[in-house]
Amino acid sequence: MPAKSKAHRRGSYNTDAARIRALAYSNPDTICRRCGLTLAAKPGDTWDAGHINAGQINGPLAAEHSSCNRSAGATEGNRRRKILRTTRDW
């Protein structure tokens, strides 16, 4: 049985993300919305479609280096887990 998709990857996410990545790859002058650098400035990196508003399901996406996008996702996840740990009623 296939795994359930995460809420932020449902709906039109996959097609929107594929379109954004294709546009980013087709234009060598595309800059990462997080760091402002082109793909040529970060050898070995790839393009991702990152959420502009963290945690907003079906929100707008933009081209981001995979390293920038995943770092931001990890930071946001850690922030949310910290909030949960501090607000639990033990």
pLDDT digits (tens, 9 = 90+) for 10-66: 678 899 999 999 999 999 999 999 999 999 999 999 999 999 998 787 889 999 999
User: How confident is the model at residue 90, as a pLDDT?
Assistant: 57
Query: How far apart are the C-alpha atoms of 65 and 71, rounded to whole Å?
Result: 10
User: How confident is the model at residue 86, as a pLDDT?
Assistant: 83
Residue owning tokens 């234009």: 27
pTM: 0.78
Q: State which residues form the domain around 81.
A: 7-87
pLDDT digits (tens, 9 = 90+) for 24-39: 999 999 999 999 999 9
Q: How many domains does the chain have?
A: 1
Query: How far apart are the C-alpha atoms of 83 and 74, rounded to whole Å?
Result: 14
Residue 2 lies in a domain: no
Residue 1 lies in a domain: no
> What one-letter code names the amino acid at 5?
S
